[in-house]
Chains A and B, each alone.
Chain A
Amino acid sequence: MKFKRSMDSGSQIPTGSMGDIVFLLLIFFMATTIFKLEEGLTVTLPRAEFGVRVPREKVTHVWVDARGDITIDDRYLTLESVEAVLVQKMRENPQLMVGLNLDANLPYDLVDKVLMQLRKANAINVSFTNDVEAI
């Protein structure tokens, strides 16, 4: 049997579906992308009506949950080390704003101690993060 090699130009890959492939990829990445988020602690934020919108990217969050555990950037800290961490952060960004994500049921005593740490670190711009929805 004799096969004749076709002499016309080499086989062409159809490009018509290229766009579809690109979009499939786009959808795939959109669906699977997870932005790195700070997890923080599970807190029940107090509810307030007159909170103002806080630019998330300019804020360093301090989390204190109902058990009194403290985290900054997902690292557990003791109360006394909050100052040192914030001093470091203030050096990087003097305009730093501290978002306090504190549990609604915390005793005020501890809140006061945290505020004292902020004052010592000279991190005086604070925002008491609140919930806008009724709990």
Chain B
Amino acid sequence: MARMRRSKGVPPEISQASTADIAFLLLIFFISTTVFETEFGLAAVLPGMGGKAVKVKRDNVLTIRAAAGGEIYVDDAVVGLREVRSIIKSGLEENENLVIIIETDAEARYEQMINLLDEVKAAKARKFSFKKRRG
């Protein structure tokens, strides 16, 4: 049997110089591909049960009604969703204490109320309240 001789040469070494580069590549990859789930919402503060009902002068109130059929009424006149924003804006210009009441029919869809709330937010109205209209 041939005599095996263990080589005495230097053992093969794997270069570690590139590990840092690999680490950074990975890091950059994961940083760039991670998507944080973000959530968007229309914020509102509800009146608590303890507080007194706030009395608001009739002149300071703008009621926008979302009817079950999908129509939007401002002061008993039907308006389009696009017009609501400018109505609120001009109302706020005249009277900065204006309170917007979003009145939604009980049978109306939630989306209709959100559409109005979105317009209220778009017009930068700070004071608004929700009201349900019984069918």
Contact = CB atoms under 8 A, between A and B. Distances in A.
A111 interface: yes
Given A16-B13, A48-B117, A119 B46 contact: yes
Contacts of A127: 41-44
A39 B97 CA distance: 42
Which interface class (under 10, 10 to 19, 20 to 34, 35 or more) fits A? 35 or more
Given A48-B42, A112-B130, A124 B48 contact: yes
Contacts of A54: 38-41, 43
A17 B110 contact: no
Contacts of B42: 48, 50-52, 127-128, 130
B130 A19 contact: no
A104 B45 contact: no
A112 B66 CA distance: 14
A59 B39 contact: yes
B89 interface: no
Contacts of B40: 48, 51-54, 129-132
A49 B122 contact: yes
Contact of A107 (B48, B106, B115): B106
A99 B38 CA distance: 13
Contacts of B23: 23
Interface string B16-33: 100100110010001000
A27 interface: yes
Contacts of A16: 13-16
Given A108-B107, A124-B48, A17 B41 contact: no
Interface of B: 1, 6, 11-16, 19, 22-23, 26, 30, 37-50, 66, 104-115, 117-118, 121-122, 130, 132
23 contacts: A1-B1, A16-B14, A16-B15, A16-B16, A20-B19, A47-B111, A48-B114, A49-B118, A51-B121, A54-B39, A103-B110, A104-B114, A108-B113, A112-B106, A112-B132, A115-B46, A119-B47, A119-B49, A124-B46, A124-B48, A126-B43, A128-B42, A128-B117
Interface of A: 1, 6, 12, 14, 16-17, 19-20, 23, 26-27, 30, 46-54, 56, 59, 99-100, 102-109, 111-112, 115, 118-120, 122-132
